[in-house]
Amino acid sequence: MAVGIFDSGLGGLTVLNAAQKRLPDVNFLYYGDNARAPYGVRDAEDVYQLTKAAVESMWDKGCDLVILACNTASAAALRRMQEGGLPKGKRVLGVFVPLIEALTERQWGDNSPPREVAVQHVALFATPATVASRAFQRELAFRAIGVDVEAQSCGGVVDAIEDGDLILAEALVRSHVDALMRKMPHPEAAILGCTHYPLMEEIFQTALGPQVKVFSQGTLVADSLADYLQRHPDMYGAGEGGYFTTGDPSRVSDRATQFLRREITFQAA
């Protein structure tokens, strides 16, 4: 059995790591489109076509359920794939909904009408493509009313993380936080709307200040996945788990090992 986790690059490893800890008996198949990362600077059609091809490859490898751990893919491709019709027995889920359910303090699967929630001022840090899509705001509107969202496009952060230049990534994060707080001086909560950003979570928190609650996706998505699999035990899939990349397997393995601090070995997709 294997549950698929897809990302444009290495960021989805933050979700994978949390999912493996939460669900130690589940095999996971990770697929990184590192050769074409980052997705955050691509147009929506390009992201859709790349995501669709990757997900189909994961289905061919035995995954019935694929999590789009890439926020840009979730923003640009998820709804279109779902509305276009999926093969029988296949499912694709994104990462926005678990985050929004945590932010609005709603139970997983709560489809009641939107209502007022405690948090009124939210900072969203995301890639340019995710910000342009307004997908987060659209999903939030299904669950909450009266929430002011200020989005900050964080250009360059993903590239720096993928290149292993964490000093540059830290400097960029601080710059983007400064830019957002000039527009929204007192956010109550901050959404790290890219799965690469949890690698910089401490930097975001320090720059924002202790009064801002930072929502990061790894644990939230893992908990939501555990709940989903409990309700849908037929979605565990078949086939073997493993790590696949469209990039250079040796280089990607080295970066992944550095990020997760345990040996990760990728093979060519």
pLDDT tens-digit series, residues 187-244: 999 999 999 999 899 999 999 999 999 998 899 999 999 999 999 999 987 778 999 9
Same domain membership, residue 264 and residue 180: no
pLDDT tens-digit series, residues 143-172: 999 999 999 999 999 999 988 899 999 999
Rounded to 5°, the CA angle 72-227-115 comes to 70
Same domain membership, residue 140 and residue 247: no
DSSP state of 84: H
- Region 75-84 average pLDDT: 94
Which of 180, 195, 216 corresponds to the end of one domain?
216
In sign, the C-alpha dihedral spanning 220, 222, 226, 231 is positive
Same domain membership, residue 110 and residue 87: no
Same domain membership, residue 177 and residue 163: yes
CATH number at residue 90: 3.40.50.1860
* Residues spanned by the domain of 145: 97-216
pLDDT tens-digit series, residues 95-130: 988 999 899 988 767 778 999 999 999 999 999 999
Same domain membership, residue 157 and residue 46: no
Percent of the chain with pLDDT over 70: 99
Rounded to an integer, what is the distance from CA 156 to the centroid of its chain? Answer: 17
Q: What pLDDT sits at residue 238?
A: 77
Same domain membership, residue 211 and residue 244: no
Tokens for 17, please give them.
């790591």
Same domain membership, residue 84 and residue 39: yes
**Up-side HSE of residue 102: CA atoms within 13 Å toward CB?**
20
Kindly list the catalytic residues: 70, 194
Which of 195, 216, 237 corresponds to the end of one domain?
216
Most distant CA atoms of the chain, gap in Å: 50
Q: What pLDDT sits at residue 216?
A: 87
Same domain membership, residue 113 and residue 190: yes
Same domain membership, residue 112 and residue 13: no
Average confidence score pLDDT of the chain: 94
Question: Cβ contacts of residue 186 below 8 Å, gap of 6+?
Answer: 121
In sign, the C-alpha dihedral spanning 73, 166, 19, 112 is negative
Tokens for 258, please give them.
């550095």
Same domain membership, residue 146 and residue 251: no
Same domain membership, residue 65 and residue 102: no
Same domain membership, residue 212 and residue 119: yes
Total number of domains in the chain: 2
